[in-house]
Amino acid sequence: MTKVVLSIAGSDPSGGAGIQADLKTLHAHGVYGLTVPTLITVQNTLGVQAVHPLPAELVQHQIQVLLDDFEVEAIKIGALGNRAIIEAVHEVLQALNVPVVLDPVLVSTSGKSLLEDAAISALQKWLFPLCTLITPNLPELQVLYRGKVPTEGNFLVKGGHGNGTVLTDTLWMAGERVVEFHAERQSTRNLHGTGCTLSSSIAAHLTSGFSLPEAVRQAHAYLQGAIRHAPDLGQGSGGLNHFWQQNGAAFAEMDSSLCSGQSH
């Protein structure tokens, strides 16, 4: 039976990030993707020019009609825009018992805010408790928790903003460092939508019964390949090649040599 994953995130007309990248990722994994846009962006590979959040009641209505029709087996959440949308998403998802992966997108790569500062506490209060995994990068972790991983919940701290030639993503579960995933820094400008792609891939893997550490490991490996085979489009930070494997049905058998996990 075909798995179904719902993406609740912003729309990127350049196709590199947001619900567009989520759909490509889910399709590459053999998963049927549903999308609910939370905000409309005006952007290309050179950056985000404008952000327009949708009415919260419209976002909530979109989610509800999909849940009424489909058996959704996992949810990925991305950019939400403001407090009203956060509360609306919480209202409709709070009784749902499926894996939820949240990428707490605060600022675009080009520096444009994708979440009002006043909404950060609402994100922590209303949505974090519903999540199976939260995937902040280092700057986001600094804003959310002053750089420290909390003792409640599961967090994948992404190391792409770190220094050095080897980047490390670290999975923390209930305040304990569980696994590190390492990858050599790739010399490329094509990094648009990496966070969206990673979180969507994790959500897809969770629908197949993988443990959280294994789902992250598989997604981490998939992301490295998508970066490596990026099509080099646009004049700025280009999007990834979400279909680099050429066979979405075999996503669970990808080459594990792309990353290494170390248990602690």
Within-domain flag for 222:
yes
Domain count, the chain: 1
Domain containing residue 49: CATH number: 3.40.1190.20
* Confidence band, pLDDT 50/70/90 cuts, at residue 162: confident
Identify whether 54 is part of a domain: yes
Rounded Cα gap, residues 158 and 172, in angstroms:
11
Whether 171 is covered by a domain: the verdict is no
* 160 exposure class (CB count in 10 Å sphere: 0-12, 13-18, 19+): middle
SS3 for 241? coil
**179 in any annotated domain:** no
* Residues 118-159 pLDDT 10s: 899 999 999 999 999 999 999 999 999 999 999 999 999 999
**Per-residue pLDDT tens for 23-78?**
999 999 999 999 999 999 999 999 999 999 999 999 999 999 999 999 999 999 99
Distance CA 47, CA 65 (A): 33
CA 32-35-39 angle, to 5 degrees, is: 160
In a domain, 178, yes or no: no
Question: Residue 121 half-sphere exposure, CB side, CA atoms within 13 Å?
Answer: 1
Phi (first) and psi of residue 180, to 5 degrees: -110, 140
Q: What is the pLDDT of residue 160?
A: 82
Q: Tell me if 15 is assigned to some domain.
A: yes
DSSP annotation of 126: I
Q: What's the pLDDT at 140? A: 93
Residue ranges making up the domain that contains 9: 4-145+190-243
Q: List CB contacts of 23: < 8 A, sequence separation 6 or more.
A: 7, 33, 35
* pTM, rounded to two decimals: 0.91
